[in-house]
Amino acid sequence: MGIVARSVDYLSKALGLPETDRRVKEWPFMNSPGAVLSITFVYLLVVKHGPKWMEKRRPFEFPRLLLLYNLNMVALSFYMCYEFVYVSIVDKYQFGCQAVDTSDRPTALRMASVAWWYFFSKIIELLDTVIFILRKKYKQVTFLHVFHHSTMVCCCWITAKYMPGGEKFVPGSINCFIHVFMYLYYGLAALGPSIQKYLWWKKYLTKLQIIQFVIVVVHAAYSLTLEPCDFPYSINVFMIVYAGFLLMLFARFYRQSYIKHSKLSEFSKGD
């Protein structure tokens, strides 16, 4: 075992996380954090140097490929949302303090599987940033965008490795539900101006994302009040801090993009 892997194991024990789930040990990326950290590092290099590489190049336009990519992400998000909800209903999951079922029961394995796919989808989603850079849509590559994409890969890897299931079905299912509509929007937007004029509902996606983080914070805080609880205390504390920070960033983005922009437009019309 490498130094990085040992360090992660020591850190996981210090945070009170369980041992690596035996069912996922041999699954792709689950053996060691090396590959995930490498992918994240390369992603950040692309973010840093990609725009410079594109300086003397024309924007790449590939509408059919974009449509195909986004429709596939819609399908994957729908599948994951369905699996999260289905298993939670069949196994009668609680809203708060739901322990991970580490058995080999079919539904427990389905939950572990969708937790892995949820993690892997975050690696795929790094392509969103690459696409923005190739199309020279640099305004989309904000601190919020990069922070969210890069950190979600690592956070979801931890969940898939140590806690593939349990009460984290709540943020997972909500996030996948929102991503169905988000990637549908991106797919339709790729068809060009003739379709884009009908996509007036973009700001409501940001509202849904804000509501999502409010629910995640409330859910984690509620779970902390339930004792005894077999789900790691430290993870719920982390979720409150992490989701709270994202909530602040998304709220700020919404205010700057829609509220202030709307006021400026009204002022301009008044002139």
Q: For residue 122, what are its two tokens?
A: 């975050």
224 burial level (CB within 10 Å; 0-12, 13-18, 19+): middle
Q: Which one of the listed residues 49, 148, 179, 219 is annotated catalytic?
A: 148
Average pLDDT, whole number, for the chain? 89
Q: Which of 84, 243, 231, 237 is nearest to 163 (CA)?
A: 231
Is 213 strand, coil or helix?
A: helix
The pLDDT tens digits of the residues spanning 98-132 come to 999 999 999 999 999 999 999 999 999 999 999 99
* Low-confidence residues of the chain: pLDDT under 70: 1-16, 260-271
Q: In sequence order, what DSSP letters do the residues of 105-144 get, joined into one string?
A: -HHHHHHHHHHHHHHHHHHHTHHHHHHHHHTT-GGG--HH
The pLDDT tens digits of the residues spanning 225-243 come to 998 888 988 899 999 999 9
CA atoms within 13 A on the CB side of 224: 14
45 burial level (CB within 10 Å; 0-12, 13-18, 19+): exposed
Active site annotation includes 145: no
Share of the chain above pLDDT 90, in %: 72
